[in-house]
Amino acid sequence: MNLPYKDYILIIKHTLEEGPGIIEEVFQKNCVNYIIVEFERGEKLPKELENIKGVISLGGDMNVYEKDKYPFLTEEELFINKIKSYNIPYLGICLGSQLLAKTFGAKVYVGKCKEVGFYEVEITDLGRKDNLFNCIEESFYVFQYHSDCFEIPEKGILLVKGKDCYINQGFKVDENLYGLQFHIEVEEKLLRNFGIDYDGKLKVLKNTGEKIIKNFLNISFKN
């Protein structure tokens, strides 16, 4: 990969349909350098890590246990272990969070229900002390689109819990590896692709998502 930037955020995109949404908007408004790796286009993860300040892994319609069908899942698990050794912050969203859980030995499985739509979640006591949730309300609404769920890794910390189907909604491993089951990147186009009626909800979702993204940037560029 021929890198145009000295320092940048790497975005891992698993499917063509699920893009970075408001993550890209926030980066552009704040002049943050970023590179998107698109697995469905056959692109590869970078071998050199010294210029990467943080990694964001997006969602996708595949499952973490479909490695034979999607070999890049194995590649990404190895990559997560590698960035851990370099102390590079990671933020996994939906599939990205499930990959983080699996990488560190937690069970990922088809749950008892499918969460699709808008759900209320709550930050735990430990989550309120974490920099990822600075200036975030204790309870807030998120967009969900998944049927798989994860257990928390043995050395992980539960940061966000659900009030409906699944308790485990956000967690942290090590100093700065985060997994969020819900989608913070949602914008109008993505919700339309999902066939979701978002009337009156998008502004609130974007406001929360932008704050979490900016908090992750602060974590990444302090590193």
The CATH number linked to 195 is: 3.40.50.880
Query: What domain range is 114 assigned to?
Result: 8-222
Q: Enter the pTM of the model.
A: 0.93
**How many folded domains does the chain comprise?**
1
Contact between 209 and 1 (Cβ < 8 Å): no
- Asked whether residue 2 is assigned to any structural domain, the reply reads no
pLDDT at 196: 75
The two beta strands, 157-162 and 8-13, are unpaired
Q: pLDDT value at position 132?
A: 98
Domain membership flag for residue 178: yes
Active site residues: 94, 183, 185
Q: What is the mean pLDDT for each group of 10 consecutive residues in the chain (223 residues)?
A: 75 93 95 95 93 96 90 96 96 97 93 82 96 95 88 95 88 97 88 73 89 98 81
Residue 63 lies in a domain: yes
User: Measured between alpha carbons, how far apart are the two ends of the chain, in Å?
Assistant: 23
In a domain, 90, yes or no: yes
User: Is residue 1, in this structure, part of any structural domain at all?
Assistant: no
- Residue-level pLDDT at 4: 62
99 lies in some domain: yes
DSSP string, 86-141: TT--EEEETHHHHHHHHHTT--EEEEEEEEEEEEEEEE-HHHHTSGGGTT--SEEE
Backbone angles phi, psi at 65, to 5 degrees: -95, 15
pLDDT score for 223:
63
- Please check whether residue 170 is in contact with residue 127, taking contact to mean a CB–CB distance below 8 angstroms: yes
